[in-house]
Structure 1
Amino acid sequence: MTNNPYAPAVQKGRWKPTVLFWIVAAIVLLVLIPFAIAGGVGMALFILGLVALLTGLYVLLFKRRSWVGLPHRKSGGIVAIAGFVALILGAGVVGATAAPGGSTDKASLASTSQKSATATPSATPTNPANSACLTAAETRKYNDQTLICTSGSDQRLVWMTEADSKRVVAEKAAADKAAVDKAAAEKAAAEKAAADKAAADKAAADAAAAQLAAEQAAAQKAAAEQAAAQQAAKQVPAAPAAPAPVAPAPAAAYYPNCAAAKAAGAAPLRIGQAGYRAGLDGDSDGVACEK
């Protein structure tokens, strides 16, 4: 509350629970029930005291009504003190209920330590299989047996008897040798395939080169022959031209039959020549008296 004389007077009346009250009360109840079940009355008293202490401090510090409707700082201080007392009492009850369990634990611990102190101090051999195997080929004795630290199939070091260790080592050596042999065989096969491919490529290249050389030789030979023929043609004298036949005068060439035309030396007669007529051309091919 403020000391302003001009502030409107606060009407005092019966307090009524607000919505905030019911919300906070529900939250406190939900928190209180499981703690009370787990810790009993002391834990419930502790939770209630903590809520009351926080509520009273809120009123004292902020000078405002809390969720339970405390009207002024005086009531807030009273609630805070009551909450603090309840908090202390609840903590005491919780500690008192937990003390017997602690004493029981101390008693059991003392009895255990007493038993261990009175136990026979004779050392018993421990099975190496229960301990870690860290160094390969390390050996230990247990019950008249020799155990050897051996790498298993999963590459983990484990304790094995001498016979099992020798068997596993032999199997691993055989497997390693088989893997090496397989790798070597695959490498040799790959190298052979590469060599075969290289030889085939070389043979194909040689065949192509031989074919090209043959074609070039044939072309050179043909060119040489053509040059020789041209040279020979230049050296041979040209044959004299045959005299052109003197065509008979087309004046009154008439042959009554092919015998007359042959006798005159005019056969055979071609169409357009003097003395040619269709009567002498029996097959009408344009040439008369050709036989």
Structure 2
Amino acid sequence: MTNYSNHPYAPAQPQQRWKPTVLFWIVAAVLLLLLIPFALVGGLGMVLFILGLAALLTGLYAFLFKRRSWVGLPHRKSGGLVAVSGFVALILGAGVVGATAAPRVDTDKATLVSPVEQSATATATPTPTPTATNPANSTCATAAETRKHNNQTLICTAGSDQRLVWMSEADSQRVVAEKAAAEKAAAEKAAAEQAAAEQAAAAQAAAEKAAADKAAADQAAAQQAAAEQAAQAAAAQAAAEQAARDAAARQAVPVEPAPAAPAPSSVYYPNCAAAKAAGAAPLYRGQPGYRPGMDGDSDGVACER
């Protein structure tokens, strides 16, 4: 088959269509994972900044190295256009992020105070700012002392900082009620903690007593077992000694002296009946007429029965 790829009149080869590669999906996934948190933190400006940076780097790669990037840019011209577009998006994103982060100079100072600080300020100063002639919120000397001002009853009350100040009757009642509630809650909490501590101490004492009782019971059981074992050993030893004494008694057979008799060869008894008839039974070993055949149990005594 003839190869026409290098022939000057060969037909032009169709350009291959770009298809997403594994690198494309990896880079796209990483870029998406970066965009989500940055979008939540910085908004649209941060999204433009990240996309512009990615486009700038991708275009520069295709423009400088003349190779397809991860998105398949075919030539240097497209790489340059993508790099310029990425640079513009990068600048716009940085501008939006900077404008969003910079606070306004004419921002009201009250808006910069957190809700917690506002609540603390409201608690510390329950009464409105006194006027030049209104003694409210000014110091006083005696608690529960009252004063009239413009048909308003002022009461000397200890505030949250324990400083005696003049308060309106409503504010005084509210502060006193709050202090009483706080003291009651503190007392209840202390009582609950004390009860819990007492319960824990009682439980610990019960556990220690149970452990001590168990140890005492185990010790008593061990002593009883040792005593029983010693008694069994003593009984076994006594039984062994008694058995030894019985065996010794059974082995000890009294040997009576043999009476004078004629020579053994001259006395013969055909059986025990003859020996008994002759009045010679029982016959002892060595005595005239004794024969092993007449001693059935071989104990040295014949015709003993």
TM-score by length of 1: 0.47
TM-score under structure 2 length normalisation? 0.45
